[in-house]
Amino acid sequence: MVNPLHDLLTEQPNPASARIDKLSTLEMVRVINEEDRRVAESITPELPSIAAAIDGIVAAFGAGGRLFYIGAGTSGRLGVLDASECPPTFNVPADLVQGIIAGGEAALSRATETTEDDPVIGVRDLLARGFGAADVLCGIAASGRTPYVLGAIAEANRLGALTIGISCSPGSELARASKIAITPLPGPEVIAGSTRLKAGTATKLVLNMLTTGVFIRTGYVWGNLMVNVQPKNTKLLDRAVRIIGSATGVGYAEAGEMLKAAGNSVRRAIESWHGGAK
């Protein structure tokens, strides 16, 4: 049975912000800032689960699988955001990491969250992407009870795929349904129930770790440099040249020439300088 909303940690009133509407603007933002400090700490107990998820995704990639995020509202938008950042950051195919949001692309800029109550739509949207047993599904729901996400997770489990559940409520249905549960508990929100705040920040931190960790493990990072960056605009071209310079010790102009000689591949330029792959 899905837990009633009023029982959820993310729905509880926060004593620290009980009078926030009466505070000065400076005092108000101090309260918000103090509550935000708790978010990073809430991730620490979940690090073993995050590491297990990273290793599972790496194994899936090695077997030809892909990573899918699925969520509704803020959770869905965060998944789509993380997925969309992977191609420009790591130069990976656009379909390797995919974000699915209840309501489709329209929901990215306008709240269309009624579909989140239907598990069948979650299954439909997942299968429409060609999801299979070799893939990984990461369900995101701050409450851990969103039917749209739970339906998709159930289908992925039925197919035998690895499932990961990210929620911010202890003992959530999503955590119980997923093979790997990641459950940071940043506590009640400054504005009760507004999970775009601390829960959203906690989710973003976890997603950052997942894809960054996966692509470090799969060799897309040299030291702490993102050597697979795509230099498709002026900013990224400048970054690519500076990365080559940092990795090789050459000057900016020479690094630029090395990038051109390597066909705009930062990795090939660095590997050429160092005499081979890392």
- The Cα-based distances of 61 to 54, 85, 213, 272 in angstroms read 11, 17, 13, 26
Q: Which of 35, 46, 116, 189 is catalytic?
A: 116
Tokens coding 21 = 């509407």
Is there a catalytic annotation at residue 271? no
Please name the residues in contact with 60: beta carbons below 8 A apart, sequence gap of 6 or more. Answer: 66, 67, 134, 135, 136, 162
Please name the residues in contact with 224: beta carbons below 8 A apart, sequence gap of 6 or more. Answer: none
* Virtual torsion, Cα 78, 79, 81, 85, nearest 10 deg: 140
CA-wise closest residue to 61 among 278, 215, 277: 215
Q: Which of 85, 113, 257, 271 is catalytic?
A: 85
Is there a catalytic annotation at residue 11? no
* Virtual torsion, Cα 113, 74, 156, 6, nearest 10 deg: -70
Catalytic residues, which ones? Answer: 85, 116
